Amino acid sequence: MSSRFAAVDLGASSGRVMLADLSDGLRLTEVHRFPNGPVRAADRLYWDVLGLYREILAGLREAGPVSSVGVDSWAVDYGLLDESGALMGNPVHYRDDRTRGVAEQVAAAVGAETLYDVSGLQVLPFNTVYQLLADRLDGAAAMLLIPDLIGYWLTGERGAEVTNASTTGLLDVRTRSWALPLIERLGLPSGIFPPLRQPGEAVGGMRRHVAAEIGWSAPVRAVGSHDTASAVAAVPATGAAFAYISCGTWSLAGVELPEPVLTAGSRAANFTNEAGIDGTVRYLRNVMGLWLLQECLRAWPGSDLGELLAAAERERPFAAVVNPDEPVFLPPGDMPARIAAECRRTGQRPPASPAAYVRCVLESLALGHRRAVRQAMELSGRKVEVVHLVGGGSRNELLCRLTADACGLPVVAGPAEATALGNVLVQARAAGLVADLKEMRTLVAATQPLRRYEPSGDPGAWDDAAARAF
Ligand code: LFR
């Protein structure tokens, strides 16, 4: 038991409870997987947070006793607690449109430069700061980001883990503490922001009723609770000259730095300086990611992804490409129709079959990866010799190959479960089983299956495609 750890990892399209055993290398097994996604009720888009919590408890029961438990999830979203500690309302999904126009209002009031200088964060319409300004906060005693909310339900302890707090837009990028002057200037109640905790710190012991329900008890430990922070911690890099793409519902593409980049060029390119573990900076950009494909599949009931990918492989290259980051793709809805409209708007013929749509999506994503990796290199001055593509997208061979070709760099694909690995490795380090970030990465590289893709094809064709997309 002393070398067993559980990771609760909530992604935007599925959640899982994973069990890691470090008694001999690093073995990760999936104990429980459950679907996740937006729920539209009336005119609002929510997460089913109680359904997720029920599945987490079921997964922990199945995992059996472990040394500790860590929780990570997507970023920015939160639950509000009242004075008594009760959840005040259902957490709203970041793809909900209630924040429309808020980012622009805040930029006009405070200044986009000031905001970037304080938080170092890219402007995404759903950053926590904009959501808080769109919500009613009267009666709120605490704002807990999703993993912190789960941690509170498991232990009774409140806090804000710092990697995830860095996605709120309200954390000072230099001091890594709450940006109180900004919080006050925006008229937000500073009392709702709980004390910060660092990855590796104890959250607390399990509540008695939780232990009774799952049949065992163990401490909960803070990890890189932003899923992307955990994923980056588990990138199997063996040197320093690497970029990463954490590819799931989103593709988070960038480099790891010791210091933030807060230049005007960085702000103009909408690059973010999110907090990584051990004081590192995740200097990256959000690319729309496999959401484009997931939403296409939802529009084609009964379609088979494996068959579609095989057929996409045979489609004519570069028949149509779009900018994957167009805001029009952000909300849920008919994705093929939106892609078709985008193709027409840019003077291209829309894809004529599902396979052609898939080809268009994957090439467009590869172009997004290329742009983000190149800009990360240019804006940070960091040398990159290899791109590590981790997360569920690393299983998509065509996407990996297209990304290598588009970037003109080798792509090392895997592990698919990088987030869960980063989660358990921070716990294992707190237990004294691994020494530091370097050793964590070496262990991942030595124990997890990886595939390597060398760049091939005509680089000029990618330049032409990029000129059409952006
Ligand atoms: C990836 C991720 C991204 C964040 C987005 C929304 O799962 O956490 O890093 O920008 O979801 O929270």
Distances (CA, A) of 386 to 74, 243, 263, 401, 407: 26, 6, 25, 13, 10
Do 91 and 184 have their domain in common? yes
Domain assignment of residue 455, yes or no: yes
Asked if residue 424 belongs to a domain, the reply is no
Say whether both 238 and 218 belong to one domain.
Answer: no
Q: From the CB of 78, is ligand 1 less than 6 Å away?
A: no
Residue 103 falls within a domain, yes or no? yes
Ligand 1: which atom is nearest the Cα of residue 75? 12
State the pLDDT at residue 6. 98
- Is 335 part of any domain? yes
Q: Residue 259 pLDDT > 90, yes or no? A: yes
Average pLDDT over residues 261-290: 98
Q: Same domain, yes or no, for 328 and 209? A: no
Neighbours of 302 (CB within 10 A): 5
pLDDT band at 2 (very low <50, low <70, confident <90, very high): confident
Do 71 and 215 lie in one domain? The reply is: yes
286 CB near ligand 1 (under 6 Å): yes
Q: Are residues 192 and 289 in the same domain?
A: no
CATH number of the structural domain spanning residue 283: 3.30.420.40
pLDDT at 263 over 70: yes
Evaluate: CB of 232 within 6 angstroms of ligand 1.
no
Which active-site residues does the annotation give? Answer: 227
Asked whether residue 420 is domain-assigned, the answer is no
Report pLDDT for 1: 58
- Identify any residues that bridge with 226 across adjacent strands, giving them in sequence order: 73
Domain boundary, last residue among 178, 203, 225 = 225
Interface predicted TM-score (ipTM): 0.99
Q: Where a domain ends, among 225, 249, 282?
A: 225
Decide: 94 in ligand 1 pocket, CB within 6 A: yes
The whole-number pLDDT of residue 103 equals 98
For 417-436, what is the mean pLDDT?
98
Query: Is the Cβ atom of 250 under 6 angstroms away from ligand 1?
Result: yes
Q: Cα of 282 to ligand 1 centre, how many Å?
A: 13
Q: Do 13 and 159 belong to one domain?
A: yes
Kindly give the number of the ligand 1 atom that is closest to the alpha carbon of 250: 1
The average pLDDT across 310-334 equals 98
Inside any domain, residue 385: yes
pLDDT of residue 365: 98
Domain shared by 293 and 184, yes or no: no
Please give the Cα distance from 222 to 217 (Å, whole number): 16
Closest ligand 1 atom, residue 249 Cα: 7
- Split into its structural domains, the chain has a count of 2
**Strands lying side by side in the sheet with 202-204:** 27-35, 14-21, 4-10, 68-73, 220-221, 202-204
Which one of 78, 167, 232, 245 would you pick to mutate in the ligand 1 pocket, going by the greatest count of ligand atoms within 8 A of its CB?
A: 167
Give tens-digit pLDDT for 438-456.
999 999 999 999 999 999 9
Cα 16 to Cα 14: distance, rounded to the nearest angstrom: 7
* pLDDT, mean over the chain: 98
In this prediction the pTM is 0.98
Q: How far apart are CA 345 and CA 353, in angstroms?
A: 19
Residue 460 CA to ligand 1 centre (angstroms): 32
CA of 145 to the centre of ligand 1 (A): 12
Task: Give yes or no: residues 217 and 239 share one domain.
Answer: no
Q: Give the atom of ligand 1 at the shortest distance from the alpha carbon of 289.
A: 1
Domain boundary among 162, 193, 225: 225
C-alpha separations of 215 from 16, 31, 209, 308, 341 in Å = 19, 16, 10, 43, 53
Q: What is the mean pLDDT of residues 303-311?
A: 97
Q: Are 274 and 282 in contact (CB under 8 A)?
A: yes
pLDDT over 80 (residue 134): yes
Both 73 and 125 in a single domain? yes
Task: Output the pLDDT for position 357.
Answer: 98
Atom nearest to 252 CA in ligand 1: 9
Residue 437, in any domain of the structure: no
What is the rounded end-to-end Cα distance, in angstroms, of the chain?
A: 52
Q: What is the pLDDT of residues 395-421, one digit of tens each?
A: 999 999 999 999 999 999 999 999 999
Q: How far is the CA of 286 from the centre of ligand 1 (A)?
A: 8
Q: To test ligand 1's pocket by mutation, which of 130, 225, 249, 286 has the most ligand atoms within 8 angstroms of CB?
A: 286
Same domain assignment for residues 172 and 304? no
Q: How far is the CA of 273 from the centre of ligand 1 (A)?
A: 13
Q: Which residues contact 257 (CB under 8 A, 6 or more apart)?
A: 273, 280, 281, 283, 380, 382
- Contact at 8 Å (CB) between 322 and 296? no
Residue 334 lies in a domain: yes
pLDDT in tens, 168-207: 999 999 999 999 999 999 999 999 999 999 999 999 999 9
- 173 and 245 housed in the same domain: no
Range of the domain at 13: 4-225
Q: Phi and psi (nearest 5°) for 418?
A: -55, -40
pLDDT digits 0-9 by tens, 65-115: 999 999 999 999 999 999 999 999 999 999 999 999 999 999 999 999 999
**Domain co-membership, 22 together with 116:** yes
